[in-house]
């Protein structure tokens, strides 16, 4: 589809991509939403925790929310979206990826940008256990990449009516290069520290699968993907993982109406993460590239972020 013109124009302070990113990640607060947890058992014997919130009076429409790297169902960008959708007659389920809720998972493997097998199981569980005729997927960052890959790699159930992917690293390799640049050093260090903390927990559970020496060798996010992500999930190395899990190659096959919202001042995203040609050649894919917004930092004056308003607007109209 033709590229969408964006109307997003935040206050002056939030015209800095870094200010938007940091405020959204560290300072935003969302209150007034009640979640109920459901634990589901996966086909490999592991589990996922799903946090549900409901609109008053019940609904036939459900939004599945997917978080980003080292996120969870209680991150403000998840709660903000859930709160808005609940207020507009949609039930919401926020998915905690493996090892992202309070309880460590039971397998050595975890989650990653291309782990669509877990998303598939969530959707099958919802369809088989609930009565929703309209299901929508909204993925943020890593969750956005997973959303696009899921939609493009297989035929989707009839209940899936639309999707939104926000701040998406469509090319994982090129996004990794951006994260390793000096301007992103603090973000990369924060991500790496969280990931290493969880990896040490995995080592306690599975001491024969990873050594102290291997953990000590991890100096960068790419090192983490070489040492753990790739090996734990059946890839040869980090580059193989990036190539096979990047959503960019799956976007041409998407047949579900899908909005991609990537800000051009998002320091996590390289030019390759803006699928302009892919969107122009696919009638089902809509690409909006606001000038501002940083990484998941689309602040708006009324406390409801622009990405949340656009997700609701798009889903209402598909």
CATH number, position 264: 3.40.50.1820
Last residue of a domain, one of 215, 245, 275: 245
CA neighbor of 42 nearest in space, from 137, 107, 114, 132: 107
Angle at 208 between CA 121 and CA 197, to 5 degrees: 65
Question: Within this chain, do residues 55 and 147 fall inside the same structural domain, yes or no?
Answer: yes
Domain assignment present for residue 2? The answer is no
* In the predicted structure, residue 301 carries a pLDDT above the cut 90: no
- CA proximity to 163, closest of 195, 129, 134: 134
- In this structure, what are the phi and psi dihedrals at residue 95, rounded to the nearest 5 degrees? -90, 125
Do 289 and 209 sit in the same domain of this protein?
no
In this structure, the number of other CB atoms found within 10 A of the CB of residue 262 comes to: 23
Residues 73 and 199 in one domain: no
pLDDT of the residue at 253: 98
What residues contact 121, with CB distance under 8 A and at least 6 apart? 40, 42, 43, 48
Mean pLDDT score of the chain, rounded to an integer? 97
pLDDT at 47: 98
82 and 155 part of one domain = yes
Residue 24 has pLDDT above 90, yes or no: yes
Based on the fold, state whether residues 163 and 268 are members of the same structural domain.
Answer: yes
* pLDDT band at 56; cut points 50, 70, 90: very high
**What pLDDT is stored for residue 2 in this prediction?**
79
Q: Does one domain contain both 72 and 137?
A: yes
Contact 218, 196 (CB under 8 A): yes
Whether 233 and 299 share a structural domain: no
Residue 230 confidence (pLDDT): 98
- Domain presence at residue 72: yes
With respect to residue 257, please indicate whether it lies within any of the assigned structural domains.
Answer: yes
Q: Given this model, what pLDDT does residue 59 score?
A: 96
In a domain, 138, yes or no: yes
What's the start-to-end Cα distance of the chain, in Å? Answer: 14
Of 216, 245, 274, the domain-final residue: 245
pLDDT in tens, 219-273: 999 999 999 999 999 999 999 999 999 999 999 999 999 999 999 999 999 999 9
103 shares a domain with 222: no
Angle between helices 76-87 and 306-317 (to 10 degrees): 40
Residues 6+ positions from 260 with CB-CB distance below 8 Å: 144, 148, 164, 165, 168, 170, 275, 279, 285, 286, 287, 288
Res. 125: pLDDT tops 90: yes
Tell whether the model's pLDDT for residue 1 goes beyond 90: no
**Residue 146 falls inside a structural domain:** yes
Is residue 225 assigned to a domain? yes
Q: Which of 205, 229, 245 is the last residue of a domain?
A: 245
- Domain-located, residue 110: yes
Beta strands 47-53 and 36-41, pairing class: antiparallel
- pTM > 0.95: yes
Domain hosting residue 187, numbered range: 172-245
Same domain? For 99 and 165 the reply is yes
- 181 and 94, same structural domain? no
Render pLDDT for 259-280 as a digit per residue (tens, 0 to 9): 999 999 999 999 999 999 999 9
DSSP 2: P
> Would strands 36-41 and 160-166 be described as parallel, antiparallel, or unpaired?
unpaired
- Are 211 and 224 contained in the same domain? yes
> Taking 90 as the threshold, does the pLDDT of residue 202 lie above it?
yes
Number of domains in the chain: 2
- In terms of domains, do 302 and 226 share one? no
User: Is residue 1 one of the residues assigned to a domain?
Assistant: no
């Amino acid at each position: 589809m033709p590229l969408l013109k964006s109307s997003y124009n935040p206050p002056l302070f939030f015209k800095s991509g870094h200010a938007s990113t940091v405020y959204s990640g560290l300072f935003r607060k969302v209150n007034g939403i009640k979640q109920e947890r459901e634990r589901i058992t996966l086909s490999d014997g592991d589990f996922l925790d799903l946090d549900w919130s409901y609109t008053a009076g019940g609904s036939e429409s459900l939004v599945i929310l997917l978080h980003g790297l080292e996120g969870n169902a209680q991150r403000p960008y998840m709660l903000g979206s859930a709160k808005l959708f609940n207020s507009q007659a949609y039930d919401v389920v926020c998915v905690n990826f493996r090892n992202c809720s309070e309880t460590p998972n039971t397998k050595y493997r975890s989650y990653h940008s291309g782990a669509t097998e877990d998303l598939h199981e969530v959707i099958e569980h919802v369809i088989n256990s609930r009565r929703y005729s309209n299901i929508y997927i909204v993925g943020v960052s890593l969750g956005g990449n997973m959303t696009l890959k899921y939609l493009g790699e297989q035929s989707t159930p009839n209940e899936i009516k639309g999707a939104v992917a926000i701040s998406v690293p469509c090319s994982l390799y090129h996004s990794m290069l951006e994260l390793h640049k000096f301007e992103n050093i603090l973000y990369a260090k924060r991500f790496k520290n969280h990931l290493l903390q969880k990896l040490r927990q995995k080592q306690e559970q599975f001491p024969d699968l990873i050594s102290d020496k291997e953990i000590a060798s991890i100096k960068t996010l790419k090192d983490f993907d070489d040492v753990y992500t790739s090996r734990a999930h059946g890839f040869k190395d980090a580059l193989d993982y990036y190539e096979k899990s990047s959503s960019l190659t799956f976007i041409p096959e998407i047949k579900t109406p899908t909005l991609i919202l990537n800000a051009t001042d998002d320091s996590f995203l390289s030019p390759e993460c803006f699928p302009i040609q892919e969107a122009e050649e696919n009638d089902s894919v809509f690409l909006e590239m606001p000038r501002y917004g940083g990484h998941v930092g689309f602040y708006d004056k009324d406390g409801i972020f622009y990405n949340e308003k656009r997700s609701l607007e798009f889903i209402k109209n598909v």
